[in-house]
Amino acid sequence: MIEINNLVKHYGTKKAVNDISFTVNDGEVLGFLGPNGAGKTTTMNIMTGYLSSTSGTVIVNGHDILEEPELAKKDIGYLPEQPPLYNDMTVIEYLNFMCDLKKVRKNDRKSMLSEIMDMVKINNVSDRLIGNLSKGYKQRVGIAQALVGDPKILILDEPTVGLDPGQVIEIRKLVKSLSSSHSIVISSHILSEIQAVCDRVVILNRGKVAAIDSIDGLSRRLSGTSKFLLTFRGSDSDALAKIKMLSGIQDATVRRSEGEYHEFEILVSNSTKTDPREDIFFVMAKAGYPILEFRSLDPTLEEIFLSITG
């Protein structure tokens, strides 16, 4: 859907973007991460055609963003960190204005805007001045303008910044629902949100791509193992011996014991071709040891991010 090839951007003698290449696949939610000054905003501005690159290409649905800007931008909906809103317009006036800018046919506008406003849940404020809306509703109007014209790609820069926890959850659900019909690039400093909604992440550092992978893939690459916490009731010594005998188990240690209740920390080699979690379940079931908790202890995206960016 989007191909970024050998992208370079100079600001005078400073190289803000240094030979970046990656792709955004159809129907994918791609997290775009990096510390301040890593080149994220510059790259996103180039992807949307707002800035030109010093060298390299951005191909959107087969169209070069610089050579065929109108065709390429037609497939992009963009929400910058500061939504481009006009506070003295009502919501519906503003969205009709965006239809004018994006050359949406007049016969299609009413049904399109009705569908968009229903999707982002702003029908109840359609006649209110944008300047009188809450931060959460303004973000929703910003997403709505990005959806005008039915673009196949959405680029969202910090869509949840400044929102309260309830609003963050609502925007997260909205992004997940939109991913069924759009490819989405989302940049955010709230890494828990990226972890919740993204299929893959691209991490920039000092203008270069430091990592591209799924979050699970990054975790495996960093540690070489997967770590799990197992809480159960039964005999710790017997369970420990049984688990250590299973294929793919690198190590198992007692983390905590209280009477017949125990916690094990289990290391699983990522080179194993089978998933040992099923084997652990059946071994514990056969021994009559009920499992009370079994969850991953792999590093969070925050820990991965800090490890990669230093």
Task: pLDDT band for 223, please (50, 70, 90 cuts).
Answer: low
Q: How many CB atoms lie within 10 A of CB 110?
A: 11
pLDDT at 141: 94
Task: pLDDT band for 160, please (50, 70, 90 cuts).
Answer: confident
Task: Tell me the mean pLDDT in the region 143-147.
Answer: 94
Rounded to two decimals, what is the model's pTM?
0.79
**Using a CB cutoff of 8 Å and minimum separation of 24, what contacts does 275-281 make?**
275/248, 276/246, 276/247, 276/248, 276/249, 277/228, 279/246, 279/247, 279/248, 280/230, 280/243, 280/246
pLDDT digits (tens, 9 = 90+) for 257-303: 999 999 999 988 776 666 788 899 999 999 999 999 998 887 778 88
The domains of the chain, with CATH numbers, are: 2-214 (3.40.50.300), 220-309 (3.30.70.3190)
Residues 46, 65 contacting (CB under 8 angstroms): yes
Angle at 89 between CA 99 and CA 112, to 5 degrees: 30
pLDDT at 58: 95
